[in-house]
Amino acid sequence: MSFNTTVIRVTAFAAGLAFLAGCATPPPPPPPPPPPPVAKIVPPKPTPPLGAYDGMPIPAVEVDGLRRTVNYGLTPAQMTWNLRSGLNVAALNCLELEYDPILQAYKTLLKTQARGLSAANKTLETEFRQKYGSGFRDVLDGYMTQVYNYFALPPARKNFCDASLAIANESLTVAPGELDAFAARSLPRLEAVFEAFFRSYEQYRVDLANWNAEYGPPIYRANAIGYVNPLDPAVSVPAGSTTVGAMPATVPAASAGASTPVIVLTETPPVTEGVPQPADAQPATVQPTPAQPSITLPPVQPAIVLPAPEATPTGSGR
């Protein structure tokens, strides 16, 4: 009897413990696993605008807020002659049918503005001669190399041709005595094309730096370049040297046909006013000898002789 009582008590005690255990709060469930990491979407890497190349040198902006290009700090004669040079490049390089009026207007400009162009050319040579003496020709040739190559900058070609077409059409209404005034208001319109490209390239630099900071190593290094105007009072070009800071020389388009005119490299300086030239004469991109050019010119291309139904004035050509 005593043994049974003990068993009953032990059993009751165990049952009580089990009951109490059943009333206890259950432990919380384990936390859920962390969500999988969100895949980082990398946007496309910025690319240079208008088909330009990475690391392209861009003319610097001076403290006056103006960009130092071939059209910086010009004399009136330089402004007139540079406009003529720009239209000359457009007549050579803007070969699509829509730009055909440029060539026709340029030929007309050479005829109707022959006196004004001759005066500008003579004044320009006088300005260079006064500053550089007997060696002025090398300096002038080097500067004009910069001018032609600048206007032929490939990334700006389409917009340059559009602006040149408008200016060429307007040139048909310019009176003979108004050439300089026309150049003063028209050359900045050509320059605006290149300024827009330079600004877009500078924005590309910013975008690329931001992209590299977020998604890749900051490997980009900005390059700046300054053109030299030999007539700038602060500039002096040593004798026997060409000006520095020129853009890459003109390269004919890969799709150009056999009749495509090109700006060619020649060893002969441009013919001065007063010396007759053939009607199909082309302005030359000149590398003065023994000058030390700072640019790499392309291999000489065979010159293409274009039909010229009408003669062009002395000192100019296409």
Measure the CA angle with vertex 241, ends 251 and 156; round to 5°: 30
Give me the percent of the chain exceeding a pLDDT of 90.
53
Per-residue pLDDT at 199 = 97
The band of 218, judged by pLDDT with boundaries at 50, 70 and 90, is low
The band of 13, judged by pLDDT with boundaries at 50, 70 and 90, is low
**3-class SS at 259?**
coil
- Higher-scoring residue by pLDDT: 261, 85: 85
Q: List residues bridging with 225 in a β-sheet.
A: 59
Mean pLDDT, rounded, for 91-114? 98
Mean pLDDT, rounded, for 39-54? 92
Give me the percent of the chain exceeding a pLDDT of 70.
65
CB atoms within 10 A of CB 155: 19
Residue pLDDT, tens place only, 115-171 = 999 999 999 999 999 999 999 999 999 999 999 999 999 999 999 999 999 999 999
Per-residue pLDDT at 219 = 61
**3-class SS at 101?**
helix
Residue 68 reports pLDDT greater than 60: yes
Q: List residues bridging with 266 in a β-sheet.
A: 286
The band of 52, judged by pLDDT with boundaries at 50, 70 and 90, is very high
The band of 237, judged by pLDDT with boundaries at 50, 70 and 90, is confident
d(CA 63, CA 81): 26
DSSP string, 150-194: HHT-GGGHHHHHHHHHHHHHHHTT--GGGHHHHHHHHHHHHHHHH
d(CA 115, CA 177): 9
What is the chain's mean pLDDT, rounded?
Answer: 77
Per-residue pLDDT at 23 = 63
Token readout for 209 is 């730096």
Q: List residues bridging with 285 in a β-sheet.
A: 265
